[in-house]
Amino acid sequence: MSTYTNFTVETDADGIALITWDMPGKSMNVFTVEVMDELEAILKQTVEDAAIKGVVFTSGKSTFSGGADLTMIRGMFSMLQDERARDPQAAAQKLFDAAGRMSWLFRAIETSGKPWVSAINGTCMGGALELSLACHGRVVSNSKSVKLALPEVKVGIFPGAGGTQRVSRLTDAQSALQMMTTGQSLAPARAKAMGLVHQVVEPDQLITAAKQMIKDGLKPVAPWDEKGFKAPGGGVWTPQAAQLWPAAPAILRRETAGNYPGALAILKCVYEGLQLPFDTALKVEQRYFTQVLQTTEAFSMIRSLFISMQELGKGARRPAGVEKSEFRKVGVVGAGFMGASIAYVTAAAGIPVVLIDRDQAAADKGKSVSEKLVADSIAKGRMTKEEGEKLLSLVTPTPDYATLSDADLVIEAVFEDRAVKKAVIEQIEAVIPETTVFASNTSTLPITGLAENSKRPDQFIGVHFFSPVEKMMLTEVILGKDTGDKALAVALDFVAKIKKTPIVVNDTRGFFVNRCVFRYINEAYDMLTEGVPAAMIENAAKMAGMPVGPLSLNDEVAVDLSQKIMKASIADLGPNSVKPEHMDLIDKMVDVLDRRGRKNGQGFYDYPAKPAKKSLWPGLKDLYHQKPASEIDVETLKQRFLVTIALEAARTVEEGIVTDPREADVGSILGFGFAPYTGGTLSYIDGMGVKTFVALAEKLASQYGDHFAPTPLLKDMAAKSETFYERFNPYAEVGKAA
């Protein structure tokens, strides 16, 4: 047996080498420079050893691999930035060589002359799937935990280690493009149907089946290296291709508005590559990969959606020196839709949860939310009946507050009313011990004010969930004026346990996400009152990269909720806090027209019975005089949406609400879908340059109002040519410690 740091190699009596990838100290295997160095050495060893007849490659962990390591990616970008300043051409060449290393290593495996079989036992994504596709055989466990994907497009790049070329030669071009431009995950059966894997077997038969492929005479030659190979569907110059390729760019533009260079590069790689010999096609892919890596979009998306998201998920903001929390019981008070959903995700994480409401019937109704979610998961094959029963057994509905006496954490999720919350806080604190952390789930009410009702404000914290809780990945953790380190650590440990990404913000009305969201919606109100047609408002927002238009979003959160928030702002902050024309619009929508949003079937949209789709309410055009479309600049509409949101994010930094730029970026994307290709609100500003952003904001302010005026912080940063990631460097303390 040969031993490496990250691999073991064992050769059996049949001459089959079993390579097991098991990185020490890591929960998942990832590609690092060291891993590739060792893999290169192993390849050389297996080629030179005449006793080795074939190779089975597998993982020693419960998952196969998640792809590249974030430190390697960060190192590549750091190298690019440093080299670019000195010699741009040399930097591009260096990046080209680095980008191609994995691709040509996998090609060396493919052309080694000995058969390799990948035995996939769990999640296999990115470079790990590209490695597997370079093997001559692929056997997959039929476990439901197995997912195969090339998700690189979701972080701004594309499968650049042979992925675009091998997938498009194993399956038809349309399926290949669909898989890679969406980054979708494939279950084993779907992967087999597409021709990406050869066998799907029981987990305990995985290695046996992989070895048997070699014993049965698996050819050590890829199909595309055989004479006369034709791609499935016939390649580019066929009748089927004549239908696909003219439409493909238009479909991609409809879905992405041209905002994602990585997605467009996939089309180019597949279209050009299918017309070339395989090695030449790999060089084309390498060239495009190098180009995309140099784009602002790739840099910003990788930083926010890959590196920062992982860092925050792993507790980047967790206070040091506080013991990790063990959750033996969590209490959720308030069994309405939000509280019931919080109880569900808690139980799904394996934590016993007590769900409390005013009486047994109300508490039982709350548990029924979990019952429905479990039934849906079982019906879709995502959960077994036994797993569903176990989850439901962890949820105990009751009106009895005394059951909270041994809870490690209590989450209050009652109606958004200070008086109601005050009464509940007092009832809870009457029974919980001093060691229990109290979290309030509130979307707008400042935590410091709520904590005034607590006898132990240091143990009081805000945890703001987003609806639907079981799907939304973000959680805002809000620090009150007196919140202590233990409360923060417990909240972050809980968020990690339920597999959400946290951002930590200081206390303010609306916190971070809602402040930004309402800027987005308010800009749509401005446009409506200016006479911009509603369809142009919605389409411009989507073209800017937002997942849903602001009017559609307002319907989802409820138009009458907007009315309540506006009235509360006027009561607390004075009449100047809300534009009169906005108040008039929403009062008319709610009080006169009873158009409250999706919940009552009519808002800015009409919601007919299924299967009919929602459509914009025609009456909107009668509320204000409509401008002709020819007088409206769509590019300016797009800028207005992104700039007003980014300005609000900058204000939260200036006010000390957000202290880490990673959290503004990740929070804006996960919280309300802020144009992901920008990398988030602050990366949007950094990406164009603060000086350019300030000039754009001043131009918009002169035309559309003072809410576009750049803040003093932005002006100061522009004068000093700073970025948010330089001025508020989240790694500064790490650097000092090192």
Catalytic residues: 464
Q: H or E stretch including 487? A: helix 485-497
Inter-residue contact 355 to 392 (CB < 8 Å):
no
Separation of alpha carbons 256 and 519, rounded Å: 23
Inter-residue contact 562 to 585 (CB < 8 Å):
no
Q: H or E stretch including 478? A: strand 474-479
**HEC profile of 300-354:** HHHHHHHHHHHHHHCCCCCCCCCCCCCCCCEEEECCCHHHHHHHHHHHHCCCCEE
**HEC profile of 205-227:** HHHHHHHHHHHCCCCCCCHHHCC
Tokens of 46: 């297996």
Separation of alpha carbons 654 and 50, rounded Å: 66
Sign of CA dihedral 131, 132, 133, 137: positive
Tokens of 498: 């339920």
Separation of alpha carbons 532 and 626, rounded Å: 6
Inter-residue contact 465 to 338 (CB < 8 Å):
yes
CA 336-341-347 angle, to 5 degrees, is: 125
Separation of alpha carbons 493 and 325, rounded Å: 6
Q: H or E stretch including 463? A: strand 460-465
E-state strands within 560-669: 605-606, 615-616
Separation of alpha carbons 675 and 695, rounded Å: 21
Query: In whole angstroms, how far apart are CA 706 and each of 5, 583, 647, 697?
Result: 60, 18, 12, 10
Is beta strand 501-506 parallel, antiparallel or unpaired with respect to 605-606?
Answer: unpaired
Separation of alpha carbons 72 and 705, rounded Å: 45
Is beta strand 409-412 parallel, antiparallel or unpaired with respect to 2-3?
Answer: unpaired
Separation of alpha carbons 391 and 376, rounded Å: 13
The CB density around residue 156, as the number of other CB atoms within 10 Å, is 27
Alpha carbon dihedral 22, 27, 32, 37, in 10-degree steps, equals -10
| Residues in CB range of 205: below 8 A, 6 or more apart | none
DSSP state of 600: G
Cα Rg of the chain, angstroms? 28
Quickly list H helices, 574-617: 580-587
